[in-house]
Amino acid sequence: MSIRSSRASWAWLNLALSLLLALSIGGCASMVDRDPVRINVVGMEPLPGVGMEIRFGLKLRVQNPNDDAIDFDGVALELELNGKPFATGVSDAQGSVPRYGEAVIVVPVTVSAISFVRQAMGMAAEGEPADSVPYVLSGKLGGGVFRGMRFRDEGKLSLPGSGVPGR
């Protein structure tokens, strides 16, 4: 190999490394100014269960407050009631939430019999029926190595038939 071809090889290698560095810095910069997605529970629908489990489809409204669409590939979540683990769910749903837009995703969720009994016993031990139950929903929207997004939503679930009649 001549000195001239060796210098040309080093120049190409230097150029390739410089381009790779510039592209990776640009990729990181595009992730910096992204606001977190907003996810709210908007409904539940019953699903068939197996054995001693309860299943339902948890409807989530995903709001994107960003200037770019969010593509997702998979959803995983955990639901706590009264500060205790209650249900988990996963879905291989794929889609996109448009820029400054929203979408509804349905995630199948499973409640074990033990979790259900624990919640029922906890509510019975309190004596009076509660008008609402505090919940924490946490999870992630999948989207590749650096594109996954974690989320968290807290609030109170109103129990059907609770409250004073006529209100």
Mean pLDDT, consecutive 10-residue segments, the chain of 167 residues?
59 66 56 78 89 90 92 93 90 94 96 80 65 86 76 78 44
C-alpha 4/C-alpha 72 separation (Å) is: 49
pLDDT at 8: 61
The closest of 43, 34, 68 to 149, measured between CA atoms, is 34
Confidence (pTM): 0.68
pLDDT at 164: 41
Q: Write out the chain in H/E/C secondary structure.
A: CCHHHHHHHHHHHHHHHHHHHHHHHHHHHHHHCCCCCEEEEEEEEEECCCCCEEEEEEEEEEECCCCCCEEEEEEEEEEEECCEEEEEEEEEEEEEECCCCEEEEEEEEEEEHHHHHHHHHHHHHCCCCCCEEEEEEEEEECCCCCCCEEEEEEEEEECCCCCCCCC
Q: Could you say which of 2.170.120.12, 1.10.760.10, 1.20.1090.10, 2.60.40.10 is the CATH number of the domain covering 34-158?
A: 2.60.40.10
